[in-house]
Structure 1
Amino acid sequence: MPNLLSTRLGRRALQLGSVLACLLFWQLAASQRLDLGLVTFRNVPPPLEVLAAAWALVSSDALARHLFSSLGRVAAGYLAAALVAVLLGLAIGRSRWAESLLLPPLEVLRPIPAVAWIPLAILMFPSSELSMIFITFTGALFPILLNTVHGVEGVDRRLIASARSLGAGRLAILREVIIPGAAPSIVTGLAIGMGTSWFCLVTAEMISGQWGIGYYTWEAYTLQNYADIIVGMLLIGLLGMLSSGLIKRLGGLATPWYRLQEKSA
């Protein structure tokens, strides 16, 4: 008899069970006004109340505008960050000169949180829309960049030497050896960057936005619509999960040799 977790049905059942367990705990804690000292559920709405708030949002015309606003900002900032980060990562990973020139200032900027960029972004860009896209850009940039650098530096040097001995030039080595070898790490960075871009966008929308999931969540907090707060949080989590999953799926399709290597291992 096969192990339950080794079958797809068993894994799906376990995943569904974990979600149901979380919902059950949420229902019990909220309905009983559970107070654990450091954490209290006295003001947390139960799942049915959140479901009613979600249905009200879905039934309104505001949902589409919130979604399109957030999706557009994420797409613009993320795509720009992916292009810049991959190019910089390839350069830093392949050139000591580029590493010495580019990596120190980037490492100084990397720990700065998204909230700290908001005042400067408002001063730098003529519109709040561009400033929010910039903050999304900064959030996605560094995970993609560091994973690209790691992937490039992790390529087997013997493969590079073999390609060079066969007469391959720099562009051929980059195209045929470096990029395929670093691709799995780049895909990982792209998936992580998608999640951080949502986090940074929501932070920016809470302060500078008029439409968007982050603005909806912050407005619900200011109006003390607690169920709407959770609806906004769940929307953010769902959109982040779906978009990161899409990046992973596309990355898997783009690196079939890596999947075959995993299966053989």
Structure 2
Amino acid sequence: MYQSLSAVHSTVSSLKECQTDLATGMDIVTSVALDLIEDQDGRGNSGIGEMEDLMLECAKLDREIDCFVDTVQRVTAEVTAQQQDALSSISSRVKENFTETICCLSDADLQTHQKIIAFKESIQSSSAHNQVTQESRNMEELDEDLAITQTQVNFTCPLTQEDMINPVKNKKCNHHYEEKPIKILIGTRRQQKKKCRCPVVGCGNKDVQESDLVPDHTLKRQITDQKRKNISK
């Protein structure tokens, strides 16, 4: 019985690994959508709806995996050494519980999925960026040195003091950090049973949570573009 339970838990672990790959795929879809928005010929915007539909499908699959894993863990937790016949009923019990849980879920709730929120924020930010007038661009070119200096400051992680590679945005205070260092800091402070302050000097946010962080694909692309410009000079 315990060998069979071990196989069940191994399968659950594999599903969790699939979720990691799914999250990576959703990041790729977001990047493709941003490429469509920046299409110089303006033909890309027609595909944004399709990209959003794909993101919602991925979010739905991610949610279903969460529900299934939770159901399996709850059902198997009830199996003890005294319940010799319980193992044979696990499959049917998981199916029944999982079906009941899924039926209670609403597609509208998918809008709160972290990747969907990040996708919409990135699309909105990129669209707004593309609406900058030619006059504004010309003014930026006239003051290029100042613009580059300001951009470099915005690209710098307040923790590492180095240019960010995978920037994340804090939804509460709108500050940016390199993803890995800020998550490590949050985890360290949690182990110390302390709250994590925003590392930006002067920020009043005294409780940075990992759930507050969303990938900023637009800023990431700007950083990449700036690096390309610097290399080409």
Q: TM-score, normalised by structure 1?
A: 0.28
Greater strand fraction, Structure 1 or Structure 2: 2
Greater helix fraction, Structure 1 or Structure 2: 1
Q: TM-score, normalised by structure 2?
A: 0.30
